[in-house]
Amino acid sequence: MRSAVLAISVLLTLTACADEPDSDSSGSATAPITVQIRAEPEEAAVYRSLVTAYEEAGGGEVELVTVGREDHLTRLSTAFASGDAPDVFGINYREYAPFVQRGAVHPIGPLLAQEGLDTADYYEEPLRAFTYDDALQCMPQNISSLVVYWNRGLFEQAGVPAPKAGWTWDDFVATATALTTGGVKGVGIDSSITRMAPFVWSSGGTIVDSDEAPTRTTLHEPGARAALEAVVDLIGTGATPSKEQLAAQGLPEQFMTGKLAMFLSSRVEVPALREQRGLDFDVAALPVMGKPASVLHSDAYCVASSSENRAAAAKFVAYAVGQQGQTVTALGGRTVPSLRSVATSPAFLTPARAPASSQVFLDAIPYLRHTPVTPSWPEVEDVIGTQLQRAFEDGVPLDEVLAEIQKQADPLLQRQ
C-alpha cells in the first residue's frame, strides 16, 4: 500500500506538463466521452445501467472503464501524466486534492450551472469536502457516514437490547462485552483514521491543527488521545477479534458468519450483507463519547482539465447526479444519494430490504465532518493507519505510536 501511494505521488509530480486546451473548446454536448470509475465487479453493473439509461435519455456515447480499488489511482495517475486522461473520473474526497493541485481537474461548478443543476438541492457536507481553492472542483454523488452494523440474531441470543440513537461509549463497551461469548466477539475495530476520526471528534479532539491548511497532526493532544485510549481499553477487554482472527478473515466476513456481533463501516457493505441468507442485520448510529459526530464518506465525478469534450462530460455528470441517475445508483444499495430528494425516497430508504434503519445514515448528516483535504493526505492516512494498528493489534504503548505518527506525518503535511 505504502509503495503504491509513493508511486502515485511520484507520477503526479510528473503531471506538471499536462497540456491545457484553450477554455473555449468545450466540444459538442453529445460528443463521445470516456468515464473511469472505481468499482468492484458487482458495482460495475450498476454503473453500466447508469450509462445505458443516460444513452437512452439522449446523451452521447460513453465508454465506461471500471477499474478495481487499487488499480484506479495507478491508471488515473499514469493517464494524466501522459496526457491520455478520461473525460470524467470518479474519486474519493480523501484522494482528489493532489489531482487539483497538479491542475488535472477542471472546476465543475460553472459547467454544471450551464446544465441547469442547482447545488442547493444537494447535501452541503460533501459539497464542502469537494471545494478546494474556493471552487467546487468535483460533483459528489453520495454522502455516506460511518455507522454500527449489528447482528439482530446475536443480540437476541445474548439478551442484549438493540442499540439506541445517542448511546454512549460506555453503553457500547458494555454491549460489546455482553455479546462476547464462546465463538462470538462483540465488535470489530479497524485501525484506519477514517474509522477512528468520529471518536476523536466526539471526545473534543482533532486530527490536525487546521482543517483548511494543516501543518501538523494533533492525535497526541488530550481530546484525541482520550478517544484512542478508550479504544485501546476496549480492545483490552477481549471483546474484539484477536490478531490471528483478523489475519484469518476480514471484519465483514466475520460478521457474515456470525463470529462478530457488531462492526463499523459505511453504506458500502449493504449489498454483500443483503446477499447472506439467514443474516438478520441492521444499522445504528455511532456511540457518542462527548458530542455526536460521524465521518463523511463521499465520491464525486470530476471533469479532467485536459478533456476536449467538456460540454458532453458536464452533461453526463449532471445526469448521473440528477434524479434519474441517483435513483439508479441508490437501487444498487451501495450508496447514500447526495441529492436530498432521492435520499428521502423509497429508492434509498427501501423499508422492505435490510437494513430497516437506513434513516440512520440521514440522521448522521448534521454531525458529519470530513478529514482534511490536502495533497499529502493519502500518505498521512497511511502512516496513521499503520501506526495505530501497532497499538491496537501488537500492544505497542499508545504514546509510543502517537510520537511516531508526529515524527512521520508532520513532515508530510509541511512538505507542500
Partner 1 sequence: MIALSVVFLAPLVVMVLGSLQRPLQPPPNGLDLWPDPAEWSNYSTVALFMPLARLLLNSLLLVVVAVPVTVVVTSMAGLAIVTARGRLRRWLIGISVLMLLVPTAALWVPRVVLLRGVGLADTPLTVALLALAGTTPFYVLLFALAYSRIPTSLLEAATLEGLSPYAVWRRVALPLARPAAVAVAALSGLYYWSTFMDPLTLVSSPSNWPVALGLRGLSEMEAALYPIYLAAAVLVTAPALLAFGIAQRSFFSSVERS
- Cβ atoms of 76 and 36 within 8 Å: the answer is yes
The three three-digit cell numbers of residue 406, written as one number: 508526529
Q: What does the buried/exposed string (b/e) look like for 1-23 if buried means 16 or more CB atoms within 10 Å of the residue's CB?
A: eeeebeebbebbeebeebeeeee
| Footprint of partner 1 on 355-384 (CB under 8 A) | none
Distance CA 204, CA 211 (A): 15
Determine the interface stretch with partner 1 among 64-72, 185-193, 209-217, 403-411 (rule: CB under 8 A). 64-72
Give the three cell numbers for residue 238: 477481549
Amino acid at 73: L
Q: Judged by CB under 8 A, which of 59, 188, 205, 252 binds partner 1?
A: 252
Considering beta carbons, is residue 302 or 398 the nearer one to partner 1? 302
Work out how close the CB of 36 gets to partner 1 at its nearest, in angstroms, rounded to a whole number.
9
Among the listed ranges 18-26, 59-67, 290-298, 348-356, the one in contact with partner 1 (CB under 8 A) is 59-67
* Per CB under 8 A, 411 contacts partner 1: no
Q: Which one among 82, 181, 237, 344 touches partner 1, defined by CB under 8 A? A: 82
Cell numbers at 374, concatenated: 490536502
Nearest residue (CB) to partner 1, 164 versus 277 = 277
* Residue 220 beta carbon to partner 1: minimum distance, rounded to whole angstroms: 34
Amino acid letter at 137?
Q
Q: Rule CB under 8 A: choose which of 29, 46, 51, 67 binds partner 1.
A: 67
Position 65 contacts partner 1 (CB under 8 A): yes
For partner 1, the closer CB: 58 or 68 = 68
Check residue 344 and report its DSSP letter. T
How many helices (H) and strands (E) the chain has is answered by 20, 15
Q: Per CB under 8 A, does 9 bind partner 1?
A: no
C-alpha cell at 84: 491520455
Q: Which stretch binds partner 1 (CB under 8 A): 78-86, 195-203, 323-331, 405-413?
A: 78-86
Q: Side chain identity at 101, as an amino acid letter?
A: Q
10 interacts with partner 1 by CB under 8 A = yes
Judged by beta carbon, residue 84 or residue 124, the one nearer partner 1 is 84
Instruction: Please identify, using beta-carbon distances, which residue of 252 and 385 lies nearer to partner 1.
Output: 252
Q: Is residue 238 a contact point for partner 1 (CB under 8 A)?
A: no
Q: Which residues from 253-292 bind partner 1, rule CB under 8 A?
A: 253, 256-259, 271-272, 275-279
C-alpha cell read off for 375: 495533497
Q: How far is CA 210 from CA 45, 158, 193, in A?
A: 40, 44, 16
90 belongs to the binding site for partner 1 (CB under 8 A): no
From candidates 20, 84, 156, 233, binder to partner 1 by CB under 8 A: 84
Q: Using CB under 8 A, count the residues that bind partner 1.
A: 40
Is 20 one of the binding residues for partner 1 (CB under 8 A)?
A: no
**168: helix, strand or coil:** strand
> Closer CB to partner 1, residue 203 or residue 306?
306
Helices 41-56 and 310-320 meet at what angle, rounded to 10?
110
Closest of 371, 352, 349 to residue 360, by C-alpha? 349
CB pairs under 8 A, 24+ apart, for 249-256? 251/188, 251/190, 254/185, 254/188, 255/149, 255/151, 255/188, 255/281
Shortest Å, Cβ 73 to partner 1: 11
Residue 182, interface with partner 1 (CB under 8 A)? no
Q: At what angle do helices 2-13 and 377-393 cross, to 10 degrees?
A: 170
Residue selected from 20, 42, 61, 400 as contacting partner 1 according to rule CB under 8 A: 42
Q: Residue 382: which residues within 8 A CB-CB, separation 6 or more?
A: 1, 2, 5
- Binder to partner 1 among 63, 124, 156, 399 (CB under 8 A)? 63
**In the complex, minimum distance from the CB of residue 368 to partner 1, in angstroms, rounded to a whole number:** 27
Question: Would you state the cell numbers that stand for residue 305, as one nine-digit string?
Answer: 482539465
Return phi, psi of residue 187, to 5°.
-150, 145
Residue 252 CB, nearest approach to partner 1 (Å): 8
Q: By CB under 8 A, name the binding residues for partner 1.
A: 7, 10-11, 14, 34, 40-42, 44, 63-69, 71, 74-75, 78-79, 81-84, 249-250, 252-253, 256-259, 271-272, 275-279
